[in-house]
Amino acid sequence: MDYRQKITGTRHRLSSVDEIRDVVEETESNRGRVIQSAAVRRLQQKTQVYPLETNAGVRSRLTHSLEVQQTGRYISRTILKQLTETKQLKKLGLEGIESAFINLVEMSCLLHDVGNPPFGHFGEATISRWLQQNARKMHGAAAQNTLPSHLFDDVLLPDLCEFEGNAQGLRIIHSLQDLNLTHSQLAAAMKYTRPPYQPRPAETDAFAYRKKKPGFFYTEEALVKTIWQQLDIAEDCRFPLVYIMEAADDIAYCIADLEDAVDKNILSYQELQQNLRLIWSELSENKSSYLTDMMDDAIRKTELHLTTKRQAQEFIMRLRTRLVRDLVDYAAKRYIDQHEAVFNGTLDEPLIDGNSHQHLALQTLKDVTVRFVFSSPEKETPELRGYSALVGLLEFYRPLLELKRRKLEEIILHDSQYDFLEQRLWHRLPGKYRAAYSLAVEQIDNSYNTQEKTDLEWYYRARLLIDYISGMTDNFVVAEYQGLSGI
C-alpha cells in the first residue's frame, strides 16, 4: 500500500499557478476553492431536517456539514496518530503528507451534501417522481414522437429518473461550478460507484453496499473513469478516504437530529430517554447495556436543578461527548484493522459496521429520529409546501422540455420571440448552467447516430433544468414559485 498513488496533485486540467507545488499545497488549494464556492454557501439555506426553519439555532445543511468536517478531522488525526505510534507512516507513503490526508477528508466532509436539493431527501423523491411521470412524454413532444434510441431507453431516461444528491454533488463541483479540484479530492467525495442506469445490486452481491445508490450521472461517467485510472482505483471500488467521510457523517447527524428535536419541543427529556431505551432494547435484544450504560452515566452527571429542557440539552451534550469519542476510536480502529480492503476500496460496508455495539447505538439514534421525529407536523407540513413549490416550478419550465430543438436553437442563437414563453423561461436560467448545456451539446461527436444525437441534446436540456431547480435553496424555491404563480 502506497498512499502516494492515491493522494496526488493531478487535476482534470492544469492549474493556472505557474510554480510547481507539492501535494500538501495542492490540497490547501482545494480547501480554498471549496470554502469559497457558491455550492457551499447555499448550504446555509438548505434543509437538514426541518424545512423553512427560522430558528438559527437549528441545524442547516451548512452547520451539519461543518460538524461532519470536524468529526472527519478527528477520525483522521486518530488514524494518523495510531499509524505513527506503530511506525507505519513511512512504509505507507504517508510521512510528510499527513496534512494532505486530513485536508482531503475535511473538504470531502464539507462537500458531502452540496448536491442535496431543496427539502433534502424529500426533494430528491419529488424531482425523481416528476421525471418518472413526465420525462418520456416531454421527450416525445420535443422529438415529434420519433422512436427514441436504445441509448435513451437504456441509459439516458433511467439516468434522469433517479435523482441522487451524491451524484449531483460531483456534477456541481466539477461540471457546473468547475472548481478543478484534484482527482484525489473528487474521489474522496464519491460515496457510491454506479450510475443510475445500472440497477441496484442484490444484497448478496459483492458490491451491494458500494452500489446501493447512484454515485455519478452519465454526464460525469468519463470523469469518473479518468479518476479511477489516475489513482489506480479498480472499477466499482472506492477511494480509501471516503470511508472516513461516511463515518463522520453518520456520527454527526444521528445525535444532532435528536438535539434539534428537543430544541423544537418535539421530544421532551422523558420521551427522549424512554424512546432511546425502547429502541436499544429492541435492536440489542437485551443482550447488551452499551448504550444504556452511557445514558445512565450522562444522567448521573446532569444537574437536577435545571429546567426539564435544559436537563435534556445537558444530557445530550454529555451523551454526545462520550459516544462520539467512542465512535471515533472505533472507526479509526476499523480503518486500520481493515486497511488493505479500505485502501483498495473493496470493503463493502461502513467503518462503523453492523455487527458492533457502536453500529447498534447509531441505529438506535436513527430509528428514534425516524419513528418519533420525522413524522412530526413540524417536519411534514413544510415538506408539503415544498412539494407544491417544487412541482409547480418544474411545471412552469416544462415548455422548455417540450420545445423542438430547432426552435430552442433559434432562441439561443437569435433570441427568437416567436416562442415568447420559452424565450423568457430560457432567460431565467443561470448563465453558468446554460453554458454547461451548450458545451455538452457541442461535444456530441459523430460516434452517435442521428437519433442518439437528438436524444442526447434533450437529455442535456433536461439535466439543465434539474441543475437549476435542485440548486435552489428552500426559501428561494417557495419565493420563486410564489413570484411566478402570482400567489
Residues acting as catalytic residues: 64, 112-113, 249, 424
- Is residue 414 packed enough to be buried (19+ CB in 10 Å), middle (13-18) or exposed (0-12)? exposed
Angle between helices 61-85 and 308-337 (to 10 degrees): 40
**Alpha-carbon distances of 152 from 158, 385, 437, rounded to whole Å:** 8, 33, 17
Residues 149 and 409 sit within 8 Å (Cβ to Cβ): no
What pairs with residue 47 in β-bridges?
A: 60
In the numeric block, which cell numbers belong to residue 252? 454527526
Per-position b or e across 135-172, b if 16+ CB within 10 A of its CB? bbebbeebbeeeebbebbeebbbbbbbbbbbbbbbbbb
Q: Which of 348, 97, 371, 123 lies closest to 246 in space, CA to CA?
A: 348
At 176, phi and psi to the nearest 5?
-100, -55
Distance CA 161, CA 127 (A): 8
* Half-sphere exposure of residue 311: CA atoms within 13 angstroms, side-chain side: 17
DSSP assignment of 354-399: TTSHHHHHHHHHHHHHHHHTTTSHHHHHHHHHHHHHHHHHHHHTHH
The total number of residues shown for the chain amounts to 487
Residues 106 and 119 sit within 8 Å (Cβ to Cβ): no
What's the DSSP call for residue 439? H
- Helix ranges restricted to H, 173-289: 183-188, 221-230, 242-263, 269-284
Please give the radius of gyration of the chain, using alpha carbons only, rounded to the nearest integer. 24
In the numeric block, which cell numbers belong to residue 183? 482527482
**Alpha-carbon distances of 187 from 6, 7, 269, rounded to whole Å:** 9, 10, 41
DSSP assignment of 310-348: HHHHHHHHHHHHHHHHHHHHHHHHHHHHTHHHHHHT---
In one letter, which amino acid is 82? Answer: Q
Longest pairwise C-alpha distance within the chain: 76
Residues 244 and 102 sit within 8 Å (Cβ to Cβ): no
What's the DSSP call for residue 44? G
